[in-house]
Structure 1
Amino acid sequence: MGNTSSMLTQYDIEEVQEHCNNTFSQQEIVSLYERFCQLDRNGSGFISQDEFLSVPEFAVNPLSQRLLRMVDGLNFKEFVAVLSAFSPRATLQQKVEFIFKVYDTDCNGKVTFIEMLSVLRDLTGQFISEEQREQVLARVLEEAGYTKESSLVLSDFVKILGNSSLKMEVEVPID
């Protein structure tokens, strides 16, 4: 499975399915493998930052630089695991865990006001001022029972987003 020139065996497919908690069907995994092979232009079995940036939807995403930190150098199994958060079969917990990783830029298991502000800055660009961003974020945190000084852990994210209907889905075309 490390060499993209090889074909997936039934065992490989089942292993990947298990690794991603069955969020993708076997047909979807085969389609994802074909896409992975297209992205892996040098046939190394891993996808680099440049190869990810060749996907137009990824390149224009305001969070692409944050996402690159999470996806650079992935093999196929890891690639599917990352994408599993975007499966319609993914649980709310899986989606929240993915969002938490996007915010937790230093990977210390905590998200600070500064980290949240940084993501908000990436998402809003020049459309609102830094002062407005800080005020909005402080108000949102306050409404959720937190302050600017709070460091949020995964369970806080689950508490805050637990009642929402996160629409984070991609369609995997099946040939």
Structure 2
Amino acid sequence: MGSNSSSVNNIPNAQELMQETGFSAAHILRLHERFEFLDKDKRGQLSPQDFGALPELALNPIGDRIIGAFFSPGHFQQETGNVSLSPLSRQETVDFASFVRILAHFRPTETNRTRDGAQQEPVNSKTRKLKFAFQLYDQDRDGKISRAELLQVLRAMLGIQVTEEQLQSIAERAIQEADLDKDDAISFDEFRKSLEKVDIDHKMSIRFLR
């Protein structure tokens, strides 16, 4: 542990990242090693192409969307009781701190606290995980998953395993079950309710974080 603590002190903002994300010193060191491995040009920045060396994402059918989340991360704001998504400017590269913050969504859910003991929703809370998953579908950032957006993800995940007619049927059934306000789209609240019984930790995990 002493060796980890000593080494992690050589990583800029490591202590702040540990406090913010809940990653241990050992995790930060492992992620820094992975970041440096991907950073072939040693610029301290990663481009979307650099992520191609991660088999955990390269083999994922929606890996390109997960990679895209590193470069155009959305954030949710509370507006009159509803959760809405506001787009941020697209980034061309990400630094180590951004890399760690995004990957924190894939940590097992737990309760974190701020330094003064006040309760704070951690990056890897179930709600934050669901928000992250939601934006992988909601590519136009309008706060709803349209039928077309749902079909895009289904095609990527199921591919040639099913026919287009079957994909349409799956999408139709999913929207009928989740779309409580009958506007032919799925809002974040509807998305969250439809996944209440799903083990989100199991669904959102990356092997090298274990």
Residue equivalent to 2:133: 99
* Distance in 1 separating the partners of 2:185 and 2:209: 39
Residue equivalent to 2:172: 138
| 1:81, distance to aligned residue in structure 2 (A) | 1.3
Query: Equivalent residues in 2 for 1:14-163 (5 A)?
Result: 14-20=15-21, 22=22, 24-72=23-71, 73-89=93-109, 90-146=124-180, 149-163=183-197
* Distance in 1 separating the partners of 2:179 and 2:136: 22
TM-score where L is the length of structure 1: 0.82
Number of positions where the alignment pairs a residue of Structure 1 with one of Structure 2:
165
Q: 2:28 aligned with 1:8, yes or no? A: no
Structure 2 portions without partners, runs of 5+:
1-8, 72-92, 110-123
RMSD of Structure 2 on Structure 1 (CA): 2.3
Structure 1 portions without partners, runs of 5+:
1-5
* Distance in 2 separating the partners of 1:173 and 1:69: 19
* Distance in 2 separating the partners of 1:75 and 1:108: 27
Question: Per chain length, whose mean CA-contact separation is higher, i.e. which structure has more relative contact order (CA < 8 Å, sep 6+)?
Answer: 1
| 1:116, distance to aligned residue in structure 2 (A) | 0.7
| 1:25, distance to aligned residue in structure 2 (A) | 1.7
Relative to structure 1, is the Cα distance of residues 113 and 38 closer, same or farther in structure 2, using a 3 angstrom cutoff? same
User: Contact 1:141 / 1:147 at 8 angstroms: preserved in 2?
Assistant: no
| 1:161, distance to aligned residue in structure 2 (A) | 1.2
| 1:123, distance to aligned residue in structure 2 (A) | 0.3
**The structure with more strand, counted as a fraction of residues:** 2
Instruction: Give the SS at the match of 1:157.
Output: helix
User: Contact 1:113 / 1:148 at 8 angstroms: preserved in 2?
Assistant: no
Kindly report structure 1 stretches of 4+ aligned residues shifted beyond 4 Å: 145-149, 171-174
* Distance in 2 separating the partners of 1:29 and 1:164: 28
Which letter does structure 2 place at the counterpart of 1:155? D
